[in-house]
Structure 1
Amino acid sequence: MSILPKITPTDLQQRLQRGEIVLIDIREPSEYAREHIHGARLVPLAAIDSHDFDTERNKVAVFTCRSGNRTAMNASRLLAKGFREAYVLDGGLDAWKSAGLPVHFNAEAPLDLQRQVQITAGGMALLGAILAWLVSPWFIALSGFVGAGLMMAGMTGFCGMARLLAAMPWNRKFLSA
């Protein structure tokens, strides 16, 4: 497993100001639409291609995500994109904000899909438990259905609920951007 060296938020900010670095945000479009570092270029990990960087190979690349974990777990894949030098933002966007550095925030953008799935699945499981207690024990099946769906999503990488939520009107304009 390859490891990307880390760069601190303050070091990154200084190097961004000098134009030495290309900052690549590997999160999904819905995450980026809500909040990102000024000057970060969105190149989602799911669709990343080495040709995305043909004109920037002479620069140093810094890859970032929300916490740095997604970037670290995909280090070898990111290193294969042909940059002469590459780093991961230590602590990701969370560390950048903790350092008091500016971000672009769009309050009109929806929460990222993962959080929407967590809220919806948690709400459905809780509703099933409450209805089973108050109305009929058969409503426990709703909680079981949600749990089974989450297990299948984890095992297969396909989340039907995420696909359904992505098609909702509040997500469409941000996911297609």
Structure 2
Amino acid sequence: MTPPTALAVDEARARLHELTVIDVRTPGEFAGGHLPGALNVPLDRIRRALPDIRHAAARSDVLVVCASGARSGNACRILAENGVAAATLLGGTASWAAGGNGLSRPEGTAGATWGMERQVRFTAGTVVLLGLLLGLLVHPAFQLVSAAIAAGLVLSALTGTCGMAAVLARLPHNRPRAADLDAALEVLRGR
């Protein structure tokens, strides 16, 4: 299998008007800032959206975006396995913003939601610290919690997936607007 095609920020900016941009982050992350015109189809819902993405891809090139490029790369692989060619944005929305490009936000959102990578780092660090402290103060067996998180992080690095991110993505603060997927699919059908 070939790796997904990647577009640099400058190329994506120049072609933005002709691309169907799909942001695979959680709705909470999407509300915090996304590429202009992007549609929010979270990674865990990408298979459900396949027919509509395929319909849009027949009319324009598809650019898949996330915070850094990891989730969008996974989405591109899923799409490719199902006959849909798509590119990913090199460096994700972080590179887009670092390049001086503006991010859009839905009306009424403050954009205060942390990105998924930051949420994972905070949660992993907190659980490891708690496991170590409880291991010292209560019972040494609590150190196994820290070991489990460390093993999960190693597995995440080796596989390019993250179980903790998958769990965190389902929390209510990461899904503030449940109806957005239907609206995004409707737009994809119309393209």
Confirm or deny a common fold (TM above 0.5): yes
The one-letter code of the counterpart of 1:47 is: R
Structure 2 gap ranges (5+): 181-191
CA shift for structure 1 position 51: 1.7
Task: Give deviations 1:79-115, integer Å, cap 9, x for gaps.
Answer: 35555x5322122212211211111355454324553
Aligned to 1:20: 18
Contact preservation (8 Å) 1:26, 1:42: yes
Change beyond 3 A, Cα 1:8–1:55: closer
Contact preservation (8 Å) 1:26, 1:65: yes
Change beyond 3 A, Cα 1:76–1:149: closer
TM norm structure 1: 0.71
Alignment of 1:4-43 (within 5 A): 4-16=4-16, 19-43=17-41
Q: 2:122 aligns with which of 119, 122, 146?
A: 119
Change beyond 3 A, Cα 1:116–1:55: closer
Contact preservation (8 Å) 1:37, 1:102: yes
CA shift for structure 1 position 129: 3.2
- Which one has the bigger strand percentage? 1
In 2, Cα distance between equivalents of 1:161 and 1:73: 13
Change beyond 3 A, Cα 1:165–1:25: closer
Change beyond 3 A, Cα 1:158–1:70: closer
> How many percent identity over aligned positions?
27
TM norm structure 2: 0.66
How many residue pairs get aligned? The number is: 168
Structure 1 gap ranges (5+): none
The one-letter code of the counterpart of 1:147 is: A
Aligned to 1:142: 142
Q: Which structure has the larger Rg? A: 1
